[in-house]
Amino acid sequence: MYEKVLKPILFMFNPENVHNLFVSFGEFAGKTCIGRWKIGLMYNYRGKDISKTVDGIKYRTPFLLSAGFDYNGRLANILPSIGLGGEEIGSVTARPCGGNEKPRLTRLKKSKSILVNKGLKNEGVDRIIERIKRYKRNIDFVIGVSIARTNDDKSVSVEAGIADYVYSFKRLNEESVGDYYTINISCPNAFGGESFSDPVLLERLLIEIKKNSCSKPIYIKMPINKPWDEFSKLLNVIDKHGLQGVIIGNLNKNYDDLEYRDEAPIEYRGGLSGKPCQKLSTELIKKTKELYGKRFTIIGCGGVMSVETAQEKLDAGADLIQIISGLIFVGPGLVKKMCKGVETQ
């Protein structure tokens, strides 16, 4: 129904407008019992118990919405109805961000990818904390919060960048909002670039983060375009500072990995989601697992668009799976299919 009827219509309109429409609809539907029930009837998973406990947190299903879709935290009431075990809100930043200039999202239909140049548009951590606090937390749904550096010229220097991350982390932690935290060090096309995906600067950031006592798991959202020797240096730093795990990973910045290269001319800006992330992220998960065994929780993310691609990530060593593009290209029914796939394993 989604792929044959709804998607061709939705794909005729501007992707950011469609996204906003979906978020408004999802927020509205999530507010009423009937909305949640109706969506649940179509999309929820009600099979065998496939729950998983990771770092002391129980996930009803191992599938989560990845950061960037619900960046202002408006969908936590409706997402459990499509079979997700949790979501990552954000990335949130210390100050509100208006985002980069439009177009911020471009669909690359043939390549099954979204070119993302959002520039961390969000309402800022304080406002988002207040919203998350309003959710009734008796439902079985995990909320992670992704933290990034504010995308403006005030946080460009290393010192200001660290202070910016630490502000958001402290506020979330002291309000005890969110079940886990992710430090996003790999956002492309923001002021100051990806400076904290350098091991020396990451170490400086983590020293400051770890000065705050936190009982919740902390993960790092990893870049996927680094060669393995640089990637493993980041893992060493994360290990040294006792963080629980990594999300592998963020967007692909290499346009040559597109199946249809002509869909993204060189002057385009932003990172690629979806299919171009699939192989790169799975390879990095495999290598991380081989090197570190059970030391890190690994959340696999990138190009999961079918039962098979989800299983590939789990086989490579992922404990949990995050998705965005799969929901856009395949539809909300994908989660239920993946849950059934895990059930029969």
Q: Of 65, 30, 3, which is closest to residue 11 (Cα–Cα)?
A: 3
Least distance in angstroms from the C-beta of 247 to ligand FMN: 7
Residue nearer to ligand FMN on the CB measure, 82 or 120: 120
Cβ-closest position to ligand FMN: 68
Q: Of 42, 122, 71, which is closest to residue 335 (Cα–Cα)?
A: 42
The DSSP call for residue 85 is S
8 Å CB contact between 325 and 112 = yes
Type and span of the H or E element at 42:
helix 33-43
Least distance in angstroms from the C-beta of 329 to ligand FMN: 9
Residue nearer to ligand FMN on the CB measure, 78 or 92: 92
Give the dihedral sign, CA 30/35/38/39. Answer: negative
Residue nearer to ligand FMN on the CB measure, 91 or 282: 91
Least distance in angstroms from the C-beta of 201 to ligand FMN: 18
Least distance in angstroms from the C-beta of 49 to ligand FMN: 25
8 Å CB contact between 44 and 333 = no
DSSP string, 221-238: EE-SSS-HHHHHHHHHHH
Q: Of 83, 90, 73, which is closest to residue 149 (Cα–Cα)?
A: 90
Give the dihedral sign, CA 147/153/154/155. Answer: positive
Residue nearer to ligand FMN on the CB measure, 67 or 162: 67
- Whole-angstrom distance, CA of residue 34 vs CA of residue 28: 11
- The phi and psi torsions of 171 (rounded to 5 degrees) equal -60, -45
Q: Report the interface residues with ligand FMN, using CB under 6 A.
A: 66-68, 71, 90-91, 105, 114, 116, 118, 120, 146, 184, 187, 221, 250-251, 273-274, 277, 301-304, 323-326
Least distance in angstroms from the C-beta of 148 to ligand FMN: 6
Number of H helices, E strands in the chain: 11, 13
Residue nearer to ligand FMN on the CB measure, 111 or 273: 273
Least distance in angstroms from the C-beta of 182 to ligand FMN: 7
Least distance in angstroms from the C-beta of 250 to ligand FMN: 5
Least distance in angstroms from the C-beta of 48 to ligand FMN: 25
Least distance in angstroms from the C-beta of 120 to ligand FMN: 6
Residue nearer to ligand FMN on the CB measure, 235 or 272: 272
- Whole-angstrom distance, CA of residue 92 vs CA of residue 99: 12
Residue nearer to ligand FMN on the CB measure, 162 or 183: 183
Alpha-carbon distances of 198 from 46, 120, 195, 201, 342, rounded to whole Å = 44, 20, 6, 5, 36
Q: For residue 83, what are the contacts with CB-CB under 8 A and spacing of at least 6?
A: 43, 44, 45, 61, 63, 335, 336, 339
Residue nearer to ligand FMN on the CB measure, 68 or 178: 68
Residue nearer to ligand FMN on the CB measure, 30 or 302: 302
